[in-house]
Amino acid sequence: MSMDLSPVVICSRPSLLAQLFAVFCLLWPFATLGMLRRGERSSAPVLAMLLPLTLAMGLVWVGLSNVILGMSLSGAGDAAASAGIAEALGMPAFALFPIALIAIFALLRRHRPSLDHFSAAIAAALWVELIAALLFSARIAPFERNRTLALVWAAAALMLAAAVAMRLVLVLRRRVVAPPLRFGVPVTAISFVAAVVVLYQQVHRYWAIAISG
């Protein structure tokens, strides 16, 4: 994200990556319509929801990396850095639109989503990424090693996204048949709501610091 991290002025505009991600989130649900066959049961809807989430986590880490870069170049204060952190942690909000729309499409087509071991592992990995991002942002510092670490986490999130995309292709081609986990979908849905609440609280806190600072 391109940000002026000066201590006095906080000016933020979406980066090219953020803009492309917003366009992807807008179009992705409609691309999944052909994946949701009426009356079937598969992990395709869950994988289709996980894809924008994994991409969003990658952008969270890219945003945190840019915050560190801005701090090191301009010597930004707490207020400017907090604004950058809030913007970075807010990236998963873009994924709410495709997730909600895919769920509605699956409901309308009576396509029952299922959660297999692969999808559960991806969901757990996303929780690890989220917790790491929250801990990292709480102790963010303008050191090059921290920026490198953020980029490594971003690369890990993008690798998760690539794995989800490959798995989705295999599921659609019926190359993979995995037994669903019992109560997997409701448990994952509850954990997703919990993650949204946690992220909202953290974004709100960092914006409050930025405004008051």
Euclidean distance between CA atoms 167 and 164, whole angstroms: 5
* SS3 sequence of 116-185: CHHHHHHHHHHHHHHHHHHHHHHCCCCCHHHHHHHHHHHHHHHHHHHHHHHHHHHHHCCCCCCCCCCCHH
**Which long-range contacts link 152-155 to residues 24+ away (Cβ below 8 Å)?**
153/61, 153/129, 154/58, 154/59, 154/60, 154/61, 154/62, 154/65, 155/58
CB 140 within 8 A of CB 83: no
Strands 41-42 and 112-113: parallel
Host H or E run for residue 3: strand 2-5
Contacts of residue 91, defined as CB under 8 A and 6 or more positions apart, other chains included, come to 18, 21, 56, 57, 59, 60, 63
pLDDT by residue, tens only, the chain of 213 residues = 444 433 333 344 567 888 899 999 999 999 998 888 888 888 999 999 999 999 999 999 999 999 998 888 876 567 788 888 999 999 999 999 999 999 999 999 998 888 999 999 999 999 999 999 999 998 888 888 999 999 999 999 999 999 999 999 999 888 877 788 888 889 999 999 999 999 999 999 999 988 886
Domain positions in the chain are 33-212
* Among 97, 103, 124, CA closest to 184: 124
Q: How much is the pLDDT for 41?
A: 87
